[in-house]
Amino acid sequence: MRRRAGHAWTFIVNKGKYIPLIQNDEGRWITTGEAKDWRRCPRCRVPFENSPFECGLCSDCYFYKVIPVSEFWRLHDEKYFLAPYYRAKIAGNTYIDRGELNNGNWRKALREQIVGGYFPR
């Protein structure tokens, strides 16, 4: 299945309705309505939020299809924010209360999510 936008996507079920969510560059879960105005990559046609170095391509195309290997490893060592491998690490460390998403006020849960590696116990 081809992704629609963002770097990860999921659905929540709230009161019998499916609500699609995607992750933006910061690792925050947002609704697809918030991402509806994202531009599309001219190479692969996937919607994206920000372009590395304002090149006009999505970060996947830029890092994995366009730049030379030496540039890839230089940026990898610098932990460039929009790089797909670094972005996935940030996104994986996002904490959001799934119970609140599915049973309670999902808009409040999206506003209060914690991005970047802090997991409350």
Name the residue range of residue 82's domain. Answer: 9-110
pTM of the shown model: 0.68
Mind listing the pLDDT tens digit of every residue in the chain (121 residues)?
A: 344 445 667 778 877 888 888 878 777 888 888 888 888 889 988 778 888 888 999 888 898 889 999 998 888 888 777 777 776 666 667 777 667 777 778 888 888 887 765 444 4
What pLDDT is stored for residue 67 in this prediction? 92
Asked if residue 1 belongs to a domain, the reply is no
Q: Write the CB contacts of 18 (distance below 8 Å, at least 6 apart in sequence).
A: 11, 12
pLDDT at 47: 79
For residues 90 and 103, what is the distance between their CA atoms, to the nearest angstrom? 26
Q: Which residues pair with 39 in a beta bridge?
A: 48
For 22-66, the DSSP string reads EE-TTS-EEETTTTTT-EE-TTT--EES--GGG-SS-HHHIIIII
pLDDT at 91: 65
pLDDT at 1: 35
Residue 2 located in a structural domain:
no
Is 31 inside any structural domain? yes
* CB neighbours of residue 86 within 10 Å: 17
Residue 69, domain member (yes or no): yes
- Determine the pLDDT at residue 70: 92
Residue 120 belongs to a domain: no
Residue 23, phi-psi category: left (phi > 0), alpha (psi -120 to 50), beta (remainder): beta
Provide the domain count of the chain: 1
